[in-house]
Amino acid sequence: MTMLERNAKKAYKEQEHEGNRDEIITNYLPLIKKLAGKLSIALPPSLDEEDLVGSGIIGLIEAWDRFESSRGVQFSTYATWRIKGAMIDEIRKSSPASRSFFSQYRQVQDAEEKLRQSLNRDPDRAEIASVLGWSPSTVEQVWANYNLMTVVSLEKIILSADGEESLRLEGVIPSPEQTPEEMFTDKEQIALLASALDKLPERERLMLSLFYFEELTKKEIAGLMKVSAARISQLHARAIERLRGTLAEPDQDA
């Protein structure tokens, strides 16, 4: 549990008997803003972080109205789940992925690679859009859809080519219930992931570290790396795709 979640949990305990919903919203607002910042990596051009904050507040209110302590779940856990769910629903509503999404994403990848070879540098979204005959916002929309797919499940999922869940990007923490065989498999997965991460270009590896392990937002990372927020979305999508491809390779360490 993060510090923000602990503070939110404490705020709920202090206010639950009074039923002061406005006070709960005030105390949970830092957590809501933090979650909005994390999910901003998947924002389409039509939305911004403030839209996610608004959705998060609605999710918190729904959690307040529906929470039943008798179910044995802590309010902070339930509220965080409802807040994230409301934000993800807002993103999906504003940018539904079409059936041709993977085809579009491959087109973006192909155009990006061809431009990189001809320009001898990474192309920006306008250059990719020009090659494809699309608008820059359409290219950014494709990145947003792909990024949403990778962050929607615990914010740390690497996808297979057909969108099915594969290896988690976060380290696997053994639980007391795990068998020795399960723990061994987890260690193997961590080793595979570490090896794949080492093969990423330094810039992409830095971006993933800042996003997943330092837990910075897209805007914060863009500021540190001195690039646009759209560029961070591009780097994230490409880094995850490289990891997915490396992990799918047989005998990658051979």
Are 7 and 88 in the same domain? yes
**Residue keyed to tokens 């859009």:** 129
Are 26 and 141 in the same domain? no
pLDDT at 170: 46
The reply to whether 254 falls in a domain is: no
The reply to whether 253 falls in a domain is: no
pTM across the whole model? 0.68
pLDDT at 128: 96
In a structure prediction context, what are the per-residue pLDDT tens digits for the chain, which is 254 residues long?
555 556 555 655 555 544 567 788 888 999 899 889 888 888 888 888 999 999 999 999 988 888 876 667 788 888 888 998 899 899 888 877 667 788 898 999 999 999 999 999 989 999 999 999 999 999 998 998 888 877 764 344 444 444 444 444 544 333 444 455 544 455 666 677 778 888 889 999 999 888 877 888 888 999 999 999 889 999 999 888 888 778 777 654 44
pLDDT at 72: 72
Please give the structure tokens belonging to residue 168: 């988690």
pLDDT at 167: 44
Are 78 and 113 in the same domain? no
> Would you say 44 and 91 are in contact if contact means Cβ atoms under 8 Å apart?
yes
pLDDT at 24: 83
Domain boundary among 26, 61, 94: 94
pLDDT at 59: 93
Q: CA-CA distance, 48 to 52, in Å (whole number)?
A: 7
Are 47 and 146 in the same domain? no
> Would you say 236 and 211 are in contact if contact means Cβ atoms under 8 Å apart?
yes
Q: CA-CA distance, 60 to 77, in Å (whole number)?
A: 11
pLDDT at 69: 67
